[in-house]
Structure 1
Amino acid sequence: MTYKVTIQGDDRGFEAGPGEALLDAALRAGVELPYGCRNGACGSCKVRVVAGEVTYPGGTPAALPPAERAQGLALACRAVPASDLVIEVPRPAGDAASPKVVPARVDALELLAPDVMRLWLVLPETVRVPYRAGQYLNVVLPDGRRRAFSIANAPHSDERIELHIRYVPGGDFTSHVFRGLKVKDLLRIELPLGRFGLREDSALPALLVAGGTGFAPLKAMLEHAFHVGLRRPLRLYWGARSRAGLYLADLPERWAAEHPHFSFTPVLSDPLPADGWRGRTGLVTDAVVEDHPDLSGFEVYVAGPPAMVDAAAKLFPVHRLPPERLYSDAFEFARDGARGG
């Protein structure tokens, strides 16, 4: 059965076929909804169901806590209409602009690790697209497919846009970044996207937990926090398999020396003998609860692979973290060039 979907406050609408997810139906009809990983992990595609019902054939995704579902929120990439719907699509908050597709020139490429490339992009002089620290962009491929990457620098820090791109074996786009992309090449990007970001109206201490290139959005958020003078306690946990995965570890180490309210804890799950590692080992999420067995007085921001984000979503509430104070941004690496910091 086909169901009609109406967007509140908008003259656009579309129809969803049997078993078709909201996001797939919208994109098929040429209606743009916000999205990121498209697998229910990142939460970027949340909409509010004003009228009607949706189901989740594969089970409710981890990125949609029960409290948010009770408020009518739904993940468009996984939610399947069970009736005609009226949905509300969140609009950008604060000073962030509506997403735009713009050209960007490659200004610099820097290999940070064997599988991590730092890419600097420059927009045309006449183009300004405000964004918030923690948001991401899509690289729009020639065939219209999109590959999402977190913006790794705060808006104030550089006229350029910084991305940390992890190589995905077999991925067309990431293979091009590592083997063919050159300075002065042009890309098309869509930005800003996403709602991840530090809550500036809170005075609670914040734990920021990164896995791999999940460091990228947290880096931008911390740069912004230092720039605007936030004095709340901030502690970064960064997990990687081996020392090479902590590809910019000297940066948070410098922040810790410069800012008394900030601390940094690197954690390696499988250090190599050549690493000579004497720091913390194991899972980064376990390190967090070892240091903070009672999380009831914290906010926690998690960015990285879906397995890590899912582990945090299950573990941290057991240690008394209120679900509404867990903010996450999950990166999916399984498909060609999919979400990466």
Structure 2
Amino acid sequence: MTFQITVQPSGHQFSCEPDETVLAAAMRAGVGLPYGCKNGACSSCKGKVLSGSVTHKAHQERALTKDEEAAGYSLFCCATAQGDLVIEAREVAGSDDYPIRKMPSRVATLEKLAPDVIVMTLQLPANETLKFRAGQYIEFMLRDGKRRSYSLASPPDQDQPLSLHIRHMPGGLFTEQVFSTLKERDILRFEGPMGTFFVREDSDKPMVLLASGTGFAPIKAIIEHLRAQDSQRAMTLYWGGRRPQDLYMDALCRQWEAILPNFSYVPVISAAQPEDHWSGRTGFVHAAVMADLPDLSGHQVYACGAPIVVDSAKRDFVAQCRLPEDEFYADAFTTEADINQP
């Protein structure tokens, strides 16, 4: 039996199999529902069930609380339909412009920029290219069917190897390999591009770019893409880390600030030590945005990093800084540990 899913307010319809999540069915049909992690941890795909019912697979309660579920809200990445559905969701224009492909790649370079961060570049087969939007991610296909997601740090406009920023997670299935046994010329398979976190180029609103840790990767892609397009949009990057070494491309950001008239850079450190000799901004990175820009009503915000940073930014920017909720675009970097939390 196949169920019919209708999306409001667009009226778009697609079919869904009983064992298929609503998001998977939408992606298969080319319907652009928003999504990020695809595993019930980030809440990007949250929407409302207006008619019909769904059953949820395991997910984090912070992504969908019991009260929200009782009010009819759903995480479509882990929701299976129990019959025909009418759902309410904000669709993302252009999210299906580039087909998702499975591709082999060869490790071109491995460069350690911090004790726990490696920048890896991938070379695609000859005459092959990956079309994607600045901010999207790919999924590495590992043994036993497991996958790991990483944002593309390189812009889509340049004929260059794909670049990814990989933070070492002790015990991590993929990162232990990257930091120990992976070497140049090794073959990795991936699928992509994925995700609806990408720059909305139909707006001229000033942009706040908020990153924590390696959440800088897709932000870097966005900045370099807009630079390649000669965009005149105002951009302010707030990059947060615990120690100065966590801002592993600080020199590049300062270079952008020196040469781009519409770009500003605000590094923020939350746990500086005396030996760091840090004299810049301190505290939570999203709090620095609020101090500088108490009225965000005319801005767009692009936030990427740890879930607690993204969640706090959205809550406080909307509640206290008048940011329209639909002008907050985010990609929470969920780890396997995040996914396995209750």
CA contact (8 A) 1:42 1:331 kept: no
Contact preservation (8 Å) 1:40, 1:61? yes
- Residue 159 of structure 1 and its aligned partner are, at CA, apart by 2.1
Q: How many angstroms does 1:284 deviate by? A: 0.2
Question: Compared with structure 1, are the counterparts of its residues 263 and 324 closer, same or farther at alpha carbon in structure 2 (3 Å cutoff)?
Answer: same
Aligned equivalents of 2:292, 2:86: Cα separation in 1: 45
Question: 1:42·1:329 contact (CA, 8 Å) conserved in 2?
Answer: no
Q: Give the alignment's TM-score, normalised by structure 2.
A: 0.82
Residues 51 and 89 (structure 1 numbering): CA distance in 2 closer, same or farther, change over 3 Å?
farther
CA shift in 2, pair 1:54/1:60, >3 Å? farther
AA in 2 matched with 1:161: L
Q: Shift of the alpha carbon at 1:14? A: 2.0
Q: For 2:221 and 2:254, locate their aligned partners in 1 and report how far apart those are by CA, in whole Å.
A: 15
Q: Deviations over 1:153-208 (max 9, x none)?
A: 10123421000011111111110000010100000010111111122111111100
- Which consecutive unaligned segments of at least 5 residues does structure 2 have? 7-11, 28-32
CA distance in structure 1 between the aligned counterparts of 2:106 and 2:95, rounded to whole angstroms: 27
Question: Residues 256-271 of structure 1: matches in 2 within 5 Å?
Answer: 256-271=257-272
Measured at CA, do residues 10 and 111 of structure 1 come closer, stay the same or move farther in structure 2, by a change above 3 Å? same
Taking a change above 3 Å as real, the CA distance of residues 55 and 285 of structure 1, as seen in their structure-2 partners, is farther
Equivalent AA in structure 2 for residue 325 of structure 1: E
Q: How far off its partner does 1:5 sit? A: 4.1
Instruction: Look up the equivalent residue of 2:274 and give its one-letter code.
Output: P
1:62-97 C-alpha deviation (Å, 9 max, x unpaired): 79xx9xxx9x99532343546443779978827842
How many pairs align?
321
In the TM superposition, residue 52 of structure 1 has moved relative to its aligned partner by: 2.8
Change in 2 beyond 3 A, CA 1:35/1:140: farther
Residue aligned with 1:311, SS? helix
Answer whether contact 2:55 2:80 (CA < 8 A) is retained. yes
Q: Does 1:331 align with 2:333?
A: yes
Residue number in structure 1 paired with 2:85: 85
Measure the CA separation in 1 of the matches of 2:190 and 2:90: 22
Instruction: Kindly state the Cα deviation for residue 227 of structure 1 after the two structures are TM-superposed.
Output: 0.7
CA pair 25-95 structure 1, distance change in 2 beyond 3 A: closer
1:99 Cα deviation from its structure 2 partner: 0.5
Distance in 2 separating the partners of 1:254 and 1:99? 34
Query: Secondary structure, in 3 states, of the residue corresponding to 1:335?
Result: helix
Is 2:279 the counterpart of 1:278? yes
The answer to whether residue 108 in structure 2 is matched with residue 107 in structure 1 is yes
Which string of whole-angstrom CA distances, capped at 9 and with x for unpartnered residues, describes residues 236-267 of structure 1?
A: 00000001100000111000000111000000
Distance in 2 (CA, whole Å) between partners of 1:299 and 1:26 is 26
Q: Deviations over 1:240-297 (max 9, x none)?
A: 0001100000111000000111000000000122211000000001000000111111
Contact 2:36 2:331 in 1 (8 A): no
Tell me the distance in 2 between the aligned counterparts of 1:84 and 1:10.
11
SS of 1:296 mapped into structure 2: coil
Partner letter of residue 85 of structure 1?
L
| Distance of 1:168 and 1:128 partners within structure 2 | 30
Q: How well do the aligned residues superpose, as a CA RMSD in angstroms?
A: 3.5
Q: Say if 1:96 and 1:130, in contact at 8 Å, map to a contact too.
A: no
Instruction: Tell me how far apart the structure 2 counterparts of residues 150 and 306 of structure 1 sit (CA, whole Å).
Output: 15
Matched-pair contact (CA < 8 Å) for 2:136–2:151: yes
Corresponding residue SS for 2:174: helix
1:93-116 per-position Cα deviation (integer Å, ceiling 9, x unaligned): 278421111101000000011111
For 1:329, the aligned partner's letter is: D
2:308 paired residue number:
307
| Counterpart residue number, 2:30 | none
Normalising to structure 1: TM-score of the pair?
0.83
Change (3 A) 1:108 1:58: closer
Match of residue 200 from structure 2? 199
Residues 85 and 94 from structure 1, CA distance in 2 versus in 1: closer, same or farther, beyond 3 angstroms?
Answer: closer
Distance in 1 separating the partners of 2:23 and 2:96: 26
Where does residue 75 of structure 1 map in the other structure? Answer: 75
Amino acid paired to 1:134: G
CA 330–273 in structure 1, closer or farther in 2 if over 3 Å, else same? same
Q: Partner of 1:216 in structure 2?
A: 217
Any conservation in 1 of the 2:209–2:236 contact (CA below 8 Å)? Answer: yes
Change (3 A) 1:42 1:192: farther
**TM-aligned CA distance change 1:179 to 1:89, over 3 Å:** farther
